[in-house]
Structure 1
Amino acid sequence: MNDNGDRLPWLVVRQDDNGNRYRVGAYATRAEAQQRADQLESHGHKQLYWIEQAAAKQQ
């Protein structure tokens, strides 16, 4: 996973039962991120997964 928001602008984020949020991965396209979120949700755990666009880095 790369922190470069220009190359991997789509994030998959997880929220656990306690409300803690974690970045799971970064992806080049929204479709890739959605596919990963769907895979993770299919495991039946109570965690919530969603995708969001990474904030643009200021220089």
Structure 2
Amino acid sequence: MPDSGTTLLWQVIRQDDNGNHYRVGRYATRDEAQKVADSLDAHGQRQLYWVERIGEPAR
């Protein structure tokens, strides 16, 4: 869990079967966010997960 002084610049986004997007969580580093996205993606469900830097235009 990040301390209160950590800036969380990266987020994991999930897209469901209907095309809806949801933020799964915010993380301090791209590597940390990618590990979470990879872990969720490994479950084999049909949802799509990706990492975005906060402030970038949405997909």
Superposed pair shares fold, TM > 0.5: yes
TM-score range, shorter chain: 0.7 to 0.9
Q: List alignment gaps of at least 5 residues for structure 2.
A: none
Q: TM-score, normalised by structure 2?
A: 0.82
Mapped to 2, the partners of 1:27 and 1:33 lie a distance apart of 6
Percent identity, please.
62
Partner of 1:52: 52
Q: TM-score, normalised by structure 1?
A: 0.82
Q: List alignment gaps of at least 5 residues for structure 1.
A: none
Query: CA RMSD for the aligned pairs?
Result: 1.9
How far did residue 53 of structure 1 move? Answer: 0.3
The list of structure 1 runs, each at least 4 consecutive aligned residues, that deviate by more than 4 angstroms after superposition, is none
1:10 and 2:10 are equivalent in the alignment: yes
In the comparison of the two structures, how many residue pairs are matched?
52
